[in-house]
Amino acid sequence: MGLKSLFPTAKPVGEILALGELLLDFVPTRSDMRLSEPGTVIKTVSGSAGIFSCAAAALGARCGLLGKVGRDPFSRLVETVARSGVDTSHMVRSEEGQIGLAFLEYLPEGRNYQYYRENSVGSRFSAGDLDEEVVAQAQILHLPGMLLELNESIRGACFEAVAMAKRHGVLVSFDPNIRGELRWGGEARERMLRMASQADILKPTLAEARQLTGREDVWEILDVLHGMGPKLVAISQDKDGALLSAGGQVVASPGIDVPVVDPTGAGDCFAAALCRCVQRDMPLEEAARFCNCVGTLVCTKRGAVGMAIPAEAEVEELMASGLCCAERLVRPSSDETEQGRGA
């Protein structure tokens, strides 16, 4: 049974629409290069929604992007997104401000981003910039959660876009995308939970899922997340692969052993793949493999848009290679769970 059966009242066709902020990433060409050092960098279009939309287009979807750009030279990078097959005709062009900048370095404990995005033009997108007719024509609306913590303007736009989507039978996809650089806890957590409860499709990492639910056990995590409302939950686990859960079934797709060059954008591309799986009405096992392969391929190259995002044919080739598998998981009995806790 395909994933569309989870959403019997949803639109059968339509584009995937992403809402978010475009950024310009400066990615070091050497993994040991620090922000404090001079050196060569790759300049690439970024921002979670930008990467997501380009990935969805590369995977064969009709995809549009909602957001705001300025008249500065950096804002012209929206043309790169358009050349990637994304409909940018509904982007708002502002006479003030420029898109945000992000500088990346790879530390032993993980990636470190230095953002220059306060009052960026993208973060000034507001509910008043939304066109309900555009949202109504989509099949799926996707939002990254970090938008909720940028400012009141874009936060309001996110919740209003979801309200529009609900009025018109548009599915809502939500990636919590919790950033250490932004606020977390208290009101921020409540906002995340509010948005997650309105999502039909939810894609957290395992760490984010634990933050959202306060649980450690994956079965308890899935119970809590589904209890919020989402019918389809995908939990990405970095090198350990991913779990997909829907309709009482849970499927695991273990990690694929590949040389990791740069994981930037892997989660956004995974989320795009998940929405594409819904559009293609894939069975749960096939969807788990597809998403896992997409996320894996992104990690093998530097730079996201125009560089690391895989085409649909590349994904199908990896799926056919036999390197990626998926299996249904059986929930342990209460006795087994207690034994595991006591071990």
Q: Write out the chain's pLDDT in tens, 343 residues.
A: 899 999 999 999 999 999 999 999 998 888 899 999 999 998 888 899 999 999 999 999 999 999 999 998 889 888 989 999 999 999 999 998 899 999 989 888 878 888 888 889 999 999 999 999 999 999 999 999 999 999 999 999 999 999 999 999 999 999 998 876 555 668 889 999 999 999 999 999 999 999 999 999 999 999 999 999 999 999 999 899 999 999 999 999 999 999 988 888 899 999 999 999 999 999 999 999 999 999 999 999 887 676 789 999 999 999 999 999 999 999 997 655 555 555 4
- Exposure of 9 in the CB half-sphere (CA atoms within 13 A): 7
Helix axes 284-298, 312-320, angle to 10 degrees: 110
In this structure, the strands spanning 41-46 and 86-87 are: unpaired
What pLDDT, on the 0 to 100 scale, is given for residue 210?
A: 95
What pLDDT, on the 0 to 100 scale, is given for residue 333?
A: 78
In this structure, the strands spanning 63-66 and 15-19 are: parallel
Residue type present at position 168: H
d(CA 333, CA 336): 5
